[in-house]
Amino acid sequence: MHKVLHNIDKLVFGRGAIAQVPDQLQAWRNEGSGSVVFVIDHYFKDHALLEKLGIRSEDVVCYEDCDVHEPTTQQVDRLRDQIIEQIGVPSAVVGMGGGSIMDIAKALSLMLKQEGSSSLYQGLDLIKHAGVPHLGIPTISGTGAECSTTAVLTGPEKKLGLKCAWTVFDQVILDPELPATVERDHWFYTGMDTYIHCIESETGIHQNAFSRAYGGESLRLCREVFLGPDAGQNPKNDEQLMIASLFGGWSLTYSEVGVCHALSYGLSKILGYRHGFANCVAFQHLEDFYGPAVSEFKEMLGTNAVELPQGLSRDWSDEQISAMAQVSWNLPHMWIHALGHDWQKRISPEEIKDLFKRL
């Protein structure tokens, strides 16, 4: 069976595009109850940009803090219950922030129409009813969450996405002016998420002409942004990285991620590491899987004067390492892509533990 790519219905790209949000929301307001839920990164509380969203008195605005931990099933359940109690089912959900906020907005849009906890729906095609219309406004580039068909949540048992045709945003506003305020290291780690998506996407059995086309162009843009003569944070690179993130997201959606993401999920689930940072911590030690790309990644670290911590595993207990290896082992789709259908013959849980001990 070939994959079906469920895509964004409407996409607006360009400087100042955020000003079009109220118009985009109007059709949904006319159809539903009229109210809109805005899930916004707490960084933007009281920020002048909020005036451009057309927030009305009947709307609900939720400022979420994703600095300390990645989105959880509990967090989405709490938001869903609170909103239903306050205004019932809204006309639409808007997410404005980084990848974590994108994931919360996507999950919330689905959960407003499902019964029970979101942890029941972690996996492929477990969602029973279409969610409410949702619009994404990414304010940092790299995660691909703006176009991916999954809403990744950490639950009581696993870190896994709510993945189905209805997860993908109906509308996305890509405004390259928004990432201008992102702190440098965070910008780099998140940008590297895209680089790693593309390397993993093209290094595995699910790669194909579609994933290579988007991944190849995304890699070209990443190389300009992180290694080119004008490398670093600047308006031109903000535009390029925003498109690299989108293309990287499409590339991995039509292929798969691999070893680095499998390890990164373990780091996030057990130690709470943020996704982009966790990827970087793992990727630097994966020469035997992604050789030349790891060398290039280290060059990017140097060019952008970013230093990654070393010897982290010295402070981890054997129990923690085993737990991380277990999280990784439970992501067979990533291992199949990277190592083949007989992946369990090629790597053991003990060898996955050894990979964590490298970090």
Please report, as ranges, the residues that interact with Fe ion according to CB under 5 A.
193
Q: Residue 36 or residue 259: which is nearer to Fe ion going by CB?
A: 259
Q: Residue 103 or residue 170: which is nearer to Fe ion going by CB?
A: 103
Tokens 């499409």 belong to residue:
250
The minimum distance between CB 263 and Fe ion, in angstroms, equals 12
The minimum distance between CB 264 and Fe ion, in angstroms, equals 7
Q: Is-contact 241 179, C-beta < 8 A? A: yes
Q: 176: Cβ–Cβ under 8 A, 6 or more apart, which residues?
A: 13, 14, 15, 235, 238, 239, 242
Residue 182 φ/ψ region, left for φ over 0, alpha for ψ in the -120 to 50 degree band, beta for the rest: beta
Q: What is the DSSP letter of 269?
A: H
Q: What is the DSSP letter of 147?
A: T
Cβ-based burial of 98 (10 A; exposed 0-12, middle 13-18, buried ≥19): buried
Q: Is-contact 49 18, C-beta < 8 A? A: yes
The minimum distance between CB 158 and Fe ion, in angstroms, equals 16
The minimum distance between CB 28 and Fe ion, in angstroms, equals 29
Q: How far is CA 277 from the centre of its chain?
A: 12
> Using CB atoms, what's the residue nearest to Fe ion?
193
Q: Is-contact 278 327, C-beta < 8 A? A: no
The minimum distance between CB 29 and Fe ion, in angstroms, equals 33
Q: Residue 145 or residue 174: which is nearer to Fe ion going by CB?
A: 145
Strand order in the sheet with 92-97: 10-13, 171-174, 134-138, 92-97, 36-41, 60-64
The minimum distance between CB 178 and Fe ion, in angstroms, equals 20
The minimum distance between CB 127 and Fe ion, in angstroms, equals 21
Q: Residue 133 or residue 204: which is nearer to Fe ion going by CB?
A: 204
Among 223, 239, 247, 193, residue whose Cα is nearest residue 300: 223
Q: Residue 103 or residue 193: which is nearer to Fe ion going by CB?
A: 193
Q: How far is CA 319 from the centre of its chain?
A: 28
Strands (E), 203-288: none
Q: Residue 21 or residue 199: which is nearer to Fe ion going by CB?
A: 199
Q: Residue 111 or residue 334: which is nearer to Fe ion going by CB?
A: 334
